[in-house]
Amino acid sequence: MGGTLTAGELRKGVKLEIDGEPYLIVDFEFSKPGKGQALYRCRLRNMINGTQFDRTYRSGDKFPAADLEEQEMQFLYRQGEHFHFMNNTTYEQYELTEAQVGDAVNFLTENLVVSSLLYQGRPIGITLPNFVELRVVQADPGIKGDTAAGATKPVTMETGYVVQVPLFIEEGEMLKLDTRTGSYVERVKS
């Protein structure tokens, strides 16, 4: 990828490079004053650290497109604050920090395949599959007599993530969780 973008190509969802870092246009407004040049107001979000700011460009402005690509990567293991992944195409290994992994830390299990966004060949973040299966490692028994419809209890998953589940869920069971909401979907039949 890479290449050059002109102001006329700017719109929401476009990724460009500013001062050597990738930015995503999260909001966009075009205006053309009477006789003046067209103005492109953009709200930009840094794709590495999440900071946002507004910037206005004029027609004729040019910018480098961010050199981004998506690759499938497999989670290998965690070592303290560092998470090790392997690119499934090149077999190269990468290390991401806890900040780069973000909330995905709750759902990462060995060999899980994730989608990774690479900037200039370096991973800057990961996207989980929508659903993952995790094992319950700690569950208190449901309270006897508690038959209220929709009653739930907290259980701890193998990643340390705590989720509310129906009372019948027991330790050792595999559960399907939605990584977008972090919620319990169903029990996985073994």
Indicate the domain borders of the chain.
4-64, 68-127, 131-188
Question: pLDDT digit of tens for each residue in the chain (190 aa)?
Answer: 468 999 999 999 999 999 999 999 999 999 988 888 899 999 999 988 889 999 999 988 999 999 999 899 999 999 999 999 999 989 999 999 988 898 899 999 999 999 998 998 888 889 999 999 999 999 987 666 556 677 899 999 999 999 999 999 999 999 999 999 999 999 998 7
Identical topology for domains 68-127 and 131-188: yes
Q: Classify 68-127 by CATH class.
A: mainly beta
Distinct helix (H) and strand (E) counts, the chain: 1, 16
Token digits of residue 75: 């989670």
- Of the candidates 41, 10, 13, the residue with the CA atom closest to the CA atom of residue 26: 13
- The label of the residue with tokens 């996207």 reads 127
Would you state the structure tokens that stand for residue 188, as one six-digit string? 């996985």
In CATH terms, the fold of domain 131-188 is: OB fold (Dihydrolipoamide Acetyltransferase, E2P) (2.40.50)
Token pair of 121 as six digits:
């060949």
Among 125, 122, 103, 106, residue whose Cα is nearest residue 114: 125
CATH number of 4-64: 2.30.30.30
Tell me, what's the pLDDT at 1?
47
User: Could you tell me the pTM of the whole model?
Assistant: 0.74
Helices within the chain (DSSP H only): 98-101
3-state secondary structure of 136: strand
φ, ψ for residue 98 (rounded to 5)? Answer: -60, -35
